[in-house]
């Protein structure tokens, strides 16, 4: 698509729509001369250069990448109207778009009916899921693995619910024996299962946790903020295909969170929460006599803890899904490229004389560490930090990685023969969520080897 052309069409479309109303003279208090704006804009764009090149495959650090041009055009076009999706009165068109895209997300996960909406983040989406969990099982605690996102512990504190951490196994997934031991106490009302942990990309056994639901009367919430769109690769042939069992089981979970602003190609912030049982909307009931007045239909604000939300976020996702739908042949092709890149890099690391793969990637996160002399946790920690620092500061062809601190125990579960002279170590971690990584991963590995020799 011709990005510049469609950005111009965003302005043209808005102007044409505005001209259907009585002309309004712009108020002089809002007028700014081109010269004054030019000065401010030059300063603004210069300051924006103080960023890492998130668009480039040499940036293989955190879960960051630019949105798709279709999302930008959709966001800008709707932002010029500036609808608020809290109430149908504030954004009738974009509220309908939100319902449609949330329906597509629900279908992707296998929900036949649902209640849900977009949020400004996965954190808020998880807050809403845990809020409903608290209301559904008052007085009961919430369990999540030690590898779950820190937001769950934080939100439990905010909600006044007791949070319980469950140990993980040798691949960083919830230990089911430890979970069942906790469930036998009768303290737990909800279990959070993570479909793609933030640190390692581990997919926890959703299907096996669901098998415990009837026995212990628990709710199951799936935090798929990072990994959710990988549902599109489950059961596929080829190296990018993923085991079906945990992904198919998500259709039976009580609630799901996913972040379109990660693998859904959206700008920040765009999260989503879905509930399998639409009757949980009763927990949101409230009265706002000055808000809901033009429609008897359900307003999105009536099923959300947030009030004002950008309708532009729904518009951006809607337009993106029109051209790259959440199907294996649509958005799935984008994720498949990142998944293949991760597998390719894992093979290069396994064959390397200078690095070891920490854990085989399950999605598109690759974790690895330098083979140091001596081979000790303290030396691995020091060398990992140096490689990241030097790579970022390189004058020519910089690379941008991130580090992950792992405990002595977790390191020992995966690798023997390492001197445990510290309680843990930083290792290197890369997220290959840009499809361009598939064509760049060999050079990325070469640069890594060069940095290790330096």
For 156-173, what is the mean pLDDT? 97
Q: Is it the case that residue 225 has pLDDT exceeding 60? A: yes
In the three-class reduction of DSSP (H, G, I as helix; E, B as strand; rest coil), residue 119 is classed as strand
Q: Among 267, 299, 323, give the residue marking a domain's end.
A: 323
Residue 146 lies in a domain: yes
- 3-state DSSP percent of the chain in helix, strand and coil, to 5: 45, 15, 40
Are both 151 and 218 inside the same structural domain? yes
pLDDT confidence bin for 297, thresholds 50/70/90: low
Rounded to whole angstroms, the Cα distance separating 193 from 205 reads 8
CA atoms within 13 A on the CB side of 268: 7
CATH of the domain at 175: 3.40.640.10
Contacts 24+ apart (CB under 8 A), 27-32: none
Question: Helical H runs in 137-199?
Answer: 151-159, 176-183
Q: For residue 289, what pLDDT band results from cuts at 50, 70 and 90? A: low
Query: Do 257 and 351 fall into the same domain?
Result: no
- pLDDT for 303 equals 77
128: phi then psi, degrees, rounded to nearest 5: -65, -40
Confidence of residue 126 (pLDDT cuts 50, 70, 90): very high
Task: Clarify whether residues 143 and 247 are in a common domain.
Answer: yes
pLDDT over 80 (residue 293): no
CATH classification of the domain holding 350: 3.90.1150.170
Say yes or no: 232 and 248 in one domain: yes
- Domain range for 266 is 77-323
Residues 6 or more apart whose CB falls under 8 angstroms from that of 306 comprise: 86, 119, 120, 124
Cβ-Cβ contacts under 8 Å for 186 (sequence gap 6 or more) = none
Whether omega for the bond prior to residue 37 falls within 30 degrees of 0, making it cis, is no
Note whether residue 62 is domain-resident: no
Residues 377 and 410 in one domain: yes
User: Is residue 348 domain-shared with residue 405, that is, in the same domain?
Assistant: yes
* Beta carbons within 8 Å of 98's beta carbon, 6+ residues apart: 85, 117, 118, 300, 311, 314, 318
Residue 140 maps to a domain: yes
Residue at a domain's end among 323, 347, 382: 323
Task: Report which of 430, 425, 428 is spatially closest to residue 410, judged by C-alpha positions.
Answer: 425
Using alpha carbons, select from 166, 136, 142, 139 the residue that is nearest to residue 154. 142
454 pLDDT band, cuts 50/70/90, is: confident
Backbone angles phi, psi at 407, to 5 degrees: -80, 160
Q: How far apart are CA 198 and CA 202, in angstroms?
A: 8
Question: β-strand 255-258 against 219-224: which pairing, if any?
Answer: parallel
| Alpha-carbon span 314 to 86, nearest angstrom | 12
In angstroms, the Cα distances linking 241 to 182, 321, 326 are 33, 22, 16
Mean pLDDT, the chain, as a whole number?
Answer: 95
Provide the pLDDT confidence category of residue 294 given band limits of 50, 70 and 90.
low
Which is nearest to 281 in space by CA: 306, 263, 301, 252?
301
Domain count for the chain: 2
Helix (H, G, I), strand (E, B) or coil at 427: strand
Whether residue 365 contacts residue 391, with contact meaning beta carbons closer than 8 Å, is answered with no
> Does 266 share its domain with 343?
no
Confidence at residue 298, expressed as pLDDT on a 0 to 100 scale: 64
222 lies in some domain = yes
- Residues paired with 428 in a beta bridge: 368, 403
Strand partners, 174: 168
Does residue 68 fall inside a structural domain?
A: no
- pLDDT bracket for residue 286 (50, 70, 90): low
In terms of domains, do 125 and 143 share one?
Answer: yes
**Are 389 and 245 within one domain?**
no
**Is the Cα torsion angle 129, 132, 137, 141 positive or negative in sign?**
positive
Measured distance CA(202)–CA(195) in Å, rounded: 7
Residues 231 and 280 occupy one common structural domain: yes
Percent of the chain with pLDDT over 90: 92
Residue 300's pLDDT is what? Answer: 74
167 and 87 inside one domain: yes
Q: Is the pLDDT of residue 88 over 90?
A: no
How high is the pLDDT of residue 285? 77
Which pLDDT does position 89 carry in this prediction? Answer: 80
Which neighbouring-strand residues pair with 115? Answer: 275
Arithmetic mean of pLDDT, 262-283: 95
Does any domain span residue 41?
A: no
What is the per-residue pLDDT across 230-251, written as a single tens digit (0 to 9) for each?
999 999 999 999 999 999 999 9
* Tens of pLDDT, residues 310-329: 999 999 999 999 999 999 99
Q: Are 363 and 197 in contact (CB under 8 A)?
A: no
Q: Based on the domain organization, do 217 and 85 belong to the same domain?
A: yes
Q: Both tokens of residue 12?
A: 């043209």
Enumerate residues 6+ apart whose C-beta is below 8 A from 71: 265, 266, 267, 316, 317, 319, 320
383, part of any domain: yes
Among residues 268, 289, 323, the one where a domain terminates is 323
Span 391-403, mean pLDDT? Answer: 96
E strand or H helix at 377, and its extent? helix 377-393
Q: Is 58 among the domain residues?
A: no
Q: Which residue has the higher pLDDT, 297 or 45?
A: 45
Both structure tokens of 124: 């808020």
Task: Check whether 290 has a pLDDT greater than 60.
Answer: no
């Amino acid at each position: 698509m011709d990005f510049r052309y469609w950005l111009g069409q965003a302005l043209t479309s808005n102007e044409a729509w505005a001209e259907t109303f009585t002309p309004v003279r712009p108020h002089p208090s809002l007028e700014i001369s081109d010269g004054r704006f030019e000065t401010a804009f030059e300063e603004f764009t210069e300051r924006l250069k103080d960023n890492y090149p998130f668009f480039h495959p040499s940036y293989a650090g955190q879960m960051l990448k630019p949105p798709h041009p279709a999302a930008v055009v959709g966001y800008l076009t709707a932002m010029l109207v500036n609808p608020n999706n809290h109430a149908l009165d504030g954004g009738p068109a974009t509220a309908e778009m939100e319902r449609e895209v949330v329906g597509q997300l629900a279908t992707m996960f296998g929900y036949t009916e649902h209640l849900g909406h977009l949020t400004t983040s996965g954190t808020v989406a998880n807050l809403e899921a845990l809020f409903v969990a608290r209301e559904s099982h008052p007085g009961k605690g919430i369990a999540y693995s030690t590898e779950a996102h820190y937001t769950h512990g934080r939100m439990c504190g905010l909600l006044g619910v007791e949070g319980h951490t469950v140990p993980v196994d040798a691949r960083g997934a919830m230990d089911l024996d430890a979970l069942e031991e906790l469930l036998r106490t009768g303290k737990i009302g909800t279990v959070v299962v993570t479909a793609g942990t933030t640190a390692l990309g581990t997919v926890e056994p959703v299907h096996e946790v669901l098998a415990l639901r009837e026995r212990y009367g628990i709710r199951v919430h799936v935090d798929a903020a990072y990994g959710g769109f990988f549902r599109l690769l489950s059961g596929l042939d080829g190296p990018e295909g993923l085991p079906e069992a945990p992904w198919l089981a998500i259709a039976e979970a009580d609630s799901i969170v996913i972040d379109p602003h990660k693998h859904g190609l959206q700008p920040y912030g765009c999260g989503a929460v879905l509930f399998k049982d639409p009757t949980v909307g009763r927990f949101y009931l409230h009265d706002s006599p000055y808000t809901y007045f033009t429609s008897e239909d359900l307003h999105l604000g009536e099923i959300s803890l947030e009030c004002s939300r950008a309708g532009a976020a729904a518009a951006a996702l809607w337009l993106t899904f029109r051209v790259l739908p959440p199907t294996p042949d649509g958005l799935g092709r984008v994720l498949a490229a990142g998944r293949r890149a991760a597998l390719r890099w894992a093979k290069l690391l396994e064959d390397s004389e200078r690095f070891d793969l920490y854990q085989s990637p399950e999605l598109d996160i690759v974790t690895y560490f330098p083979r140091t002399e001596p081979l000790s946790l303290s030396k691995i920690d020091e060398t990992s930090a140096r490689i990241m620092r030097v790579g970022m500061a390189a004058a020519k062809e910089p690379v941008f990685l991130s580090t992950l601190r792992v405990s002595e125990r977790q390191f020992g579960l995966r690798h023997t023969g390492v001197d445990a002279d510290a309680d843990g170590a930083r290792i290197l971690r890369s997220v290959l969520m840009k499809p361009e990584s598939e064509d760049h991963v060999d050079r990325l590995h070469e640069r890594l080897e060069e940095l290790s020799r330096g």
